[in-house]
Structure 1
Amino acid sequence: MSLVINHNMMAANATRNLSNSYGKLAVSTRRLSSGLRVGTSSDDAAGLAVRELMRANIASLNQGVRNANDAVSMIQTADGALGVIDEKLIRMKELATQAATGTYTSDQRLIIDSEYQAMSSEITRIAKSTDFNGIYLLNGNLSGTTHSGTGLVPTGKLKVHFGNNNYSASDYYYVQINSATASSLGVGQGAGAGKAGRSISTQDLAQKALSALNKAIVSKDKIRANLGALQNRLSNTVQNLQIQAENLQSAESQISDVDVATEMTEFTRQQILTQSAVAMLGQANNLPKMAQQLLG
């Protein structure tokens, strides 16, 4: 190589190597400081695309866990109210048994019936007032066999969505709760004229009411049993969703997170190369001075 003064090729070569090493050092610094192997699309374009889809699914699964837990809370609210209704029905049967015996007068049966009707009214009040986040649970609004979410207010059975997509086999199912009002259970004045459980004001009506109350208790128990099964199913769904989210998070970590040991090795290597390039650039910049000695 000739000794020239117009072009310092050794300095240019050292500058290029310095720029390359310094750029890689900057990348290692960014990765180590952020903890991410894939921070920009230039790091791994395909990996970035896969990672973002995984992150979206992880966020969706975590929200699905919250959705399912909200549904469990809703079911617990309904079941708690049905537990109170259960006590009212038991008291009504006790009153019907009391009124069915012949040792009470008609006036006394009317007094007993007044409490019977009060219990019936309380059952209806509980059923119509029990709500979760503004959604009434026991008044029959959720008893429909079909669901429609096309309007601002969904109708029919309640849809619990917890999956990433919209497939009925894996992403959602429905919660259907039958009405638990006194009229639906067939007891009290709301049961309608001629119904066996309408009144216990006479001995005959009281005896007939016992059978109606048994049916009412069974109907209420069916609602509670259905809710219990749904709660268990939702609890299992929560566990499954948490496992899915955990495994997906692990897979996303393999793509996205930096291996600190490996990257620290690369950082040290590029740091040494950068320092060497800086030193050699300084030496290369001094080489043209040799020409001055020949000129001088």
Structure 2
Amino acid sequence: MNSINTNVGAMQALQMLNATSKELNATQARISSGLKIASAKDDASGWVMAQGQRAQIRALDAVKESLSRNGSVVDVAMTAGESISDLLMELKEKALAASDPSLNTTARRALNDDFVAIRNQIAQSIRNATFNGVNLLNGSRTSIAALANADGSDTLTVMAQNLSLGGSILTLSSGAGFASAMSAQGLIATLDSSISNISVAMARLGASSRALDRHTTFIGKLQDTLEVNVGRLVDADMAKESSKLQALQLKQQLAIQTLSVANRSQSFLLQLFGR
């Protein structure tokens, strides 16, 4: 019904235009940001879920840093331990050579000087096996622990291996040396025991290093999965949104045309009544 006082058609057209413009703005915002849920206003429950998973992803960054830091501590200890193992073999070689009864005193003394220098190098290697203030070989620690999950309730423990001279692993004393063939012979069994023990100790550290590496890989995959889940929750379907944008732009144009026609109709009625 046409009315001079109320232009129903124009009102309906304006309502349609306003609704279309609002939807168009929302679609353009989704395309611009790439997100269908950019804030809690868009979808409260979806936003809360996404934020929770984002928080977990960031917490797992701290876990990876802890794993990496502790992995470096273990790597430094293993490098030193492998070097010490080689030095122990050199010590055995010197002791074995010095155990030869036919060797003269001067030659045996030279071998002992080499032996002492290598022994001191072992002690220095133990002291220097430090990363970030942590040393797994000098007896200052019994273990270290790396974060294993996002809430800090679980850890991965690495047991220290005390390689101090005269200890349970390196049974060779810190003052070991020889002045005779007999004393050199007596060191061979001690060195054999130390070589065997350090091999076991390095195997333990190697197993711990592999465990840290495996867990680091797992944490990375877990983060990737969470990132995908967040994307499914909040990312816009760009193809769908682009198609919707075109449809809304056309709908907006039609609404503008409809409003224009409705306004012209009102003007026509006014002309009929001489207004």
TM-score above 0.5: yes
Which residue in the other structure is 1:148 paired with? Answer: none
Which residue in the other structure is 1:238 paired with? Answer: 216
Q: CA deviation at 1:90?
A: 0.8
Out of 161, 169, 182, the position equivalent to 1:178 is: 161
Q: CA deviation at 1:290?
A: 2.3
Out of 217, 227, 230, the position equivalent to 1:249 is: 227
Q: Which AA in structure 2 matches 1:23?
A: K
Q: 1:121·1:182 contact (CA, 8 Å) conserved in 2?
A: no
Q: Which AA in structure 2 matches 1:12?
A: M
Q: CA deviation at 1:45?
A: 0.8
Out of 245, 252, 255, the position equivalent to 1:267 is: 245
Q: CA deviation at 1:88?
A: 1.3
Q: CA deviation at 1:211?
A: 1.2
- Structure 2: tracts of 5 or more residues without a match: none
Q: CA deviation at 1:271?
A: 1.8
Which residue in the other structure is 1:14 paired with? Answer: 13
Which residue in the other structure is 1:81 paired with? Answer: 80
Which residue in the other structure is 1:149 paired with? Answer: none
Q: 1:127·1:179 contact (CA, 8 Å) conserved in 2?
A: no
Q: CA deviation at 1:199?
A: 2.2
Out of 131, 142, 147, the position equivalent to 1:161 is: 147
Q: Which AA in structure 2 matches 1:54?
A: Q
Out of 187, 192, 210, the position equivalent to 1:214 is: 192
Which residue in the other structure is 2:51 paired with? Answer: 52
- Structure 1: tracts of 5 or more residues without a match: 145-156, 192-197
Q: CA deviation at 1:2?
A: 4.8
Q: 2:88·2:191 contact (CA, 8 Å) conserved in 1?
A: yes
Q: % of aligned pairs identical?
A: 23
Q: CA deviation at 1:19?
A: 1.3
Q: 2:70·2:145 contact (CA, 8 Å) conserved in 1?
A: no
Q: Which AA in structure 1 matches 2:16?
A: N
Structure 2 distance, partners of 1:235, 1:136, is: 20
Structure 2 distance, partners of 1:140, 1:4, is: 98
Which residue in the other structure is 1:280 paired with? Answer: 258
Structure 2 distance, partners of 1:39, 1:94, is: 70
Deviations 1:174-233 (A, max 9, x none): 122222233432324x26xxxxxx222222321221111112112221221011111221
Greater CA drift, 257-266 or 25-34: 257-266
1:290 aligns with 2:273: no
Structure 1 distance, partners of 2:56, 2:148, is: 11
Structure 2 distance, partners of 1:249, 1:97, is: 61
Q: Which AA in structure 2 matches 1:61?
A: L
Q: Matched residue pairs, number?
A: 272
Q: CA deviation at 1:50?
A: 0.6
Which residue in the other structure is 1:68 paired with? Answer: 67
Structure 1 distance, partners of 2:205, 2:180, is: 36
Structure 2 distance, partners of 1:124, 1:76, is: 18
Q: Which secondary structure state, in structure 1, belongs to the residue aligned with residue 163 of structure 2? A: coil
